[in-house]
Structure 1
Amino acid sequence: MRENKIAFFIIIGVLAFVGILWYAFENPALNPRLEEETYTIIRKWDMPIELNEISGIRWISEDKIAAVQDEEGDIFIYNLQTNLVEEKIAFGNSGDYEAITTTDSSAYVMESSGRLFEVKNFLGNNFETHEYQVPFSGRNNMESMVADSLNNRILFAVKDIDPNSKKYKGIYAFDIETKKSNSLPVLKIPLDDPIFKSKDADDDIDLFSNFFPSDIAIHPKTGHFYILEGKNPQVLIMDSIGKLLQLHKLYKESFPQPEGITFAPDGTLYISNEGKNGTANILEVEFDEEE
């Protein structure tokens, strides 16, 4: 009897301790980080083991997201409703695949080396794969890509070293009709913009090494670019002519390694996290209203 009472009080004590920790973490008055968050996580989907290295994602239809992972030349079709990979499309050999986007019936997948794969009729039984090389290499590290359907082009951003300047990261275009890429950017992310200057930053910090795009998406209603960074988790919002609007810091408790970003047609935003010391996931995220 005495042992049962001891066990009962131990359980009560543990539950009380957990409750205190939860209250402290979720209470903005006790956890200032919550007051600084500019986003809300609406839903979370844990990925299966085969997508633990998830890198790029792209909304393709109701409840379905196409995804690639770093090491395999496969396109995974993940169903948000059933929480299952419904299909796996093998389009290439092993590699370092970082981004995916789609236009009509074609999927485009980018390797970090700048090799671009076009998978025509990717959801059909008889898909065709074509390869192109954009004018970049592994030194530039290409991880960001999005279809700009209004202008019939694929846009992609340099992650590490822009070949044209260290003062910006360029967004470049691949023409879908001609299959040619421009060597000059169509838009620039100026790295000395005040939006990147933290109030706590050291005055001697190198302003030209503080933003490393890992994926890019276009808001279906505003046309704004949402540029994700995984190294220092954050999302930059830029308008269609290149004006920087907002920079949302993402906290590593929920975004340990964000690698992919995409929108549903209604503006619902999804961000994927690689399984860094844990399980990979896709999060539905809602940002505070744009200014």
Structure 2
Amino acid sequence: MNENRIAFFIIVGVLAFVGILWYAFENPALNPRLEEETYTIVRKWDVPTDLNEISGIRWISEDKIACVQDEDGIIFIYNLSTNLIEKKVNFAKSGDYEALTTADSSAFVMASSGRLFEIENYLSANFQTKNYQIPFSGKENIESLTADTLKNRLLFTVKNKDPNSDEYKGIYAFNLATKETNSLPVLKIPLNDPIFKPKDIDDDVEASSSFYPSDIALHPLNGNFYILEGKNPQLLILDSLGKPIKLHKLLKESFPQPEGITFAPDGTLYISNEGRYGTATILEVEFDE
């Protein structure tokens, strides 16, 4: 066999191998990953190392997101356009800070213990810090926080066992006028809802869940609740009355540890990932309805 024929067969073999790989990747029947993805990652930012343990985010203005990370009592103002931290607000000593939101000129940061920090005029050099204790036992591990400005309250849910029940995780309200927390939830995440049942489980088997919320956000246009889980990466959507709509599974390749979620006023959604296996990220994500 001459060299030209050998080269021809080598080229044909390589092209055939590439074609098989392409078919396997693009065919949902052979590549279940394609069926699992119910979202599109529009943009990705690798954030500076100061935010490697980013745990909470809040959209505050065009191209700017306020962030906290687990260990430092600092609010970082991160610019999406320049990929730089523009400002640091040192509001407290080191701790375990898990969530962040804003209402008017105040920022609010939630520690896992249930200690809620209010930083008045947080963008000013003359900011003032107050703190309140959520009246739970402290074992619930709170990692979520969002502002419901229409009702003048903050909302959060517990990561571990709910103080009132094993059958749900409650969404609780902190009243911004009275600075008090309702002891009963305003809404419930029903852990026995069929939405939590794996697809390969028989219909007559009751659903159960070990859903561990890592953050919560309110959709600014339709009022739906978006509840993120970082332990087993997924996103639960509830309607404004608390009825489960959809549970999106998140692939760990893109969402190694999703800990923060926020919306821009136009509905653009951002999710942050701690740098568990590398660089921490912020992702702009569009989810299928």
Same fold (TM over 0.5): yes
Specify the alignment match of 1:187 in structure 2: 187
Check if 1:172 corresponds to 2:172.
yes
Q: 1:148 to 1:202 in 2, by over 3 A?
A: same
| Structure 2: distance between partners of 1:147 and 1:24 | 46
Matches for 1:59-208 after TM superposition, within 5 Å: 59-201=59-201, 208=208
Contact preservation (8 Å) 1:196, 1:210: no
Residue aligning to 2:285: 285
Cα distance in 2, alignment partners of residues 281 and 39 from structure 1:
17
Decide whether the 8 Å contact of 2:193 with 2:208 is kept in 1.
no
SS at match of 2:145: strand
Structure-1 residue corresponding to 2:7: none
- Aligned partner letter, 2:186: V
The alpha-carbon deviation at position 200 of structure 1 amounts to: 2.6
Q: How many residues align?
A: 276
Q: Distance in 2 between matches of 1:88 and 1:149?
A: 25
Q: Give distance in 2, aligned partners of 1:25 and 1:93.
A: 52
Match of 2:58 in 1: 58
Unaligned runs of 5+ in 2: 1-10
What are the Cα deviations for residues 162-186 of structure 1, in whole angstroms up to 9, with x where unaligned? 0100100000000001101111100
Q: Is the counterpart of residue 245 in structure 1 residue 235 in structure 2?
A: no
1:144 is paired with a residue whose SS is: coil
Structure 1: gaps (5+ residues)? 1-11
Counterparts in 2 of 1:264 and 1:203: CA distance versus 1, 3 Å: same
Relative to structure 1, the CA distance from residue 26 to residue 177 in structure 2 (aligned partners, 3 Å threshold; closer, same or farther) is farther
Inter-partner Cα distance in structure 2 for 1:45 and 1:240: 30
The change in CA–CA distance for 1:269 and 1:237 in structure 2 (over 3 A counts) is: same
Q: Deviations over 1:176-219 (max 9, x none)?
A: 01101111100000100000001235999995542111000011
Whether the 8 Å CA contact 2:228–2:260 is kept in 1: the answer is: yes
The alignment yields a C-alpha RMSD, in angstroms, of 2.4
Letter in 1 for 2:271: I
Query: How far apart are residue 50 of structure 1 and its match?
Result: 0.7
Q: Secondary structure at the match of 2:278?
A: coil
Q: Does 2:213 align with 1:213?
A: yes
Native 8 Å contact 1:45 1:283 kept in 2: yes
Which letter maps to 2:195?
I
Structure 2 residue aligned with 1:260:
260
C-alpha contact 2:192 2:209 (8 A) present in aligned 1: no
Q: SS in structure 2 opposite 1:142? A: coil
Q: What is the letter of the counterpart of residue 79 of structure 1? A: N
Looking at structure 2, the residues matched to 117 and 135 of structure 1 have their Cα atoms a distance apart, in angstroms, of: 14
Q: CA deviation at 1:277?
A: 1.4
What amino acid maps onto 1:287 in structure 2? F
Q: Is the 8 A contact 1:214 1:228 kept in 2?
A: yes
Question: Shift of the alpha carbon at 1:24?
Answer: 7.1
Whole-Å separation in 2 of the counterparts to 1:74 and 1:28: 47
User: Quick one: which amino acid aligns to residue 68 of structure 1?
Assistant: V
Asked if the contact 1:98–1:144 (Cα under 8 Å) also holds between the matched residues in 2, the reply is: yes
* Separation in 2, partners of 1:100, 1:186: 20
Q: Over residues 6-45 of structure 1, what are the superposed CA-to-partner deviations in whole Å (9 max), with x where a residue is unaligned?
A: xxxxxx9xx99xx789847852444221122110000000
Instruction: Answer with 280-289 or 201-210: which moved more.
Output: 201-210
Deviations 1:119-146 (A, max 9, x none): 0000011000000001124410000110
After the TM superposition, list the runs of 4 or more consecutive aligned residues in structure 1 that deviate by more than 3 angstroms: 19-26, 201-209
Between the two proteins, what is the percent identity of the paired residues? 70
Determine if contact 2:192/2:206 at 8 Å carries over to the other structure.
no
Give the direction of change, closer, same or farther, for the CA distance of 1:164–1:26 in structure 2 (3 Å limit): same
Larger Rg: 2
Q: Which amino acid aligns with 1:155?
A: L
Distance 1:273 1:107 in 2: 21
CA contact under 8 A between 2:169 and 2:191: conserved in structure 1?
Answer: yes
Number of the residue aligned with 2:26: 27
Answer whether contact 1:24 1:31 (CA < 8 A) is retained: no
